[in-house]
Amino acid sequence: MPGPGYRKSNLKTKSIPKNSSTDLEARTIQAAEVFNAKQKATKIMKKMKKGGTWMKVENWLMIAKLVTIVGVIIFVISTTSGQIDGELVAYYWMAIGVVTTLVMTTVMLARTSKGETFFSLITKMAGLYLPSIATLIPIAVMIYIFQTVRSELVKDASHLPPQFYTFHYLTFFFLFLQLIMLYQFFGGEIKAILSKGKISDPNKWAYVSAFIFFSIVTLGSAAELYVIITRFITDG
C-alpha cells in the first residue's frame, strides 16, 4: 500500500513500434549497399585519374551506370521497408546518373564535331541528347510529385490506396526500362565513335523512338499517380 507521500506518476511508458527493428535493419542494409557502391565508384575514379583517362567517354558511362544502380538498390530496399524518403532519394540518384550521361554526351560532341556543318551538328545533338532528356523528364516529375506531397505520404503511408502502389511501381518499371535502353544506346554510340563511324548501331533510331514512347507512357502514369495522391489527401 502506498505511503502518505506517494504521488501517482503521470508519465506513460511509450511503446516501441513493432516494426522499428525491421525499419532499422532495412536502413542498415540500405546504408551498407550505398557505401559499397560509393567505394566501387571511388576506386574506379582513382584508377581513371592514375591512368590519365579521366575524360574518356567509357568512364563517364561506367560512372553513370554505377550511380543508377545505387538508385535502383535504394528504391528496392526503401519499397520493401516502406520508406517514402528512401524512394525519393532513389529518384535523385537515378537523376544524377542520367545527368552524368548528359556530361558524357557533351564530351562526345566536343571530340567528334570539329569541322561539321551547323545542320549536321544539330542532327547529332538531337540524336544524342534526346534519349537522356526523355529519361530525365519523368524522373524529374516523380521527384516533384514526391517532394510536393512528401509530408502527407509519410504521415499516412499505411492508409494509401492500392492504386497508388500500382501506378507507382508501373512508373518505376517504365523508368527502369528506359534506363536499360539508355545505356545500351550509349554503348552502341561509343563503339561507333571509337571506330570513327565504321561500326554503326542499326538500332539507334529505334532506341530514340522507344525513349519518346516510354517517356510519354511514364509521364501519363506519373500524372495518374499524382491525381490519386491529391484525391487521397483531399478526400482523406
pLDDT of 25 reads: 65
Residue 155 is assigned to a structural domain of this protein: yes
pLDDT for res 54: 45
The verdict on residue 18 lying in a domain is no
- Whether 15 maps to a domain, the answer reads no
pLDDT tens digits in sequence order for the chain, 236 residues long: 455 554 444 444 444 444 556 666 666 666 666 666 666 666 655 554 454 444 576 777 888 889 989 999 999 998 888 787 888 899 999 999 988 888 877 777 777 767 777 777 777 777 778 888 888 888 999 999 888 888 777 777 667 788 888 888 889 999 988 888 888 888 887 777 767 667 777 777 787 788 788 888 988 988 888 888 888 777 65
Residue 216 lies in a domain: yes
Enclosing domain of residue 119:
25-235
Q: What is the pLDDT of residue 23?
A: 61
Residue showing cell 526523355: 134
pLDDT on residue 30:
64
- Residue 197 pLDDT: 66
The whole-model pTM stands at: 0.69
Q: Which residue is associated with the grid cell 551498407?
A: 32
Asked, for residue 205, whether it belongs to a domain, the answer is yes
Complete DSSP assignment for 16-79: PPTTHHHHHHHHHHHHHHHHHHHHHHHHHHHHHHHTT-TT-HHHHHHHHHHHHHHHHHHHHHHH
- Residue 84: inside a domain, yes or no? yes
Amino acid in the structure at residue 93 = W
Total count of domains within the chain: 1
Answer whether residue 107 is part of any domain.
yes
Distance CA 147, CA 48 (A): 35
Q: CB neighbours of 156 closer than 8 A, spacing ≥ 6? A: 232
- Has residue 135 been placed in a domain? yes
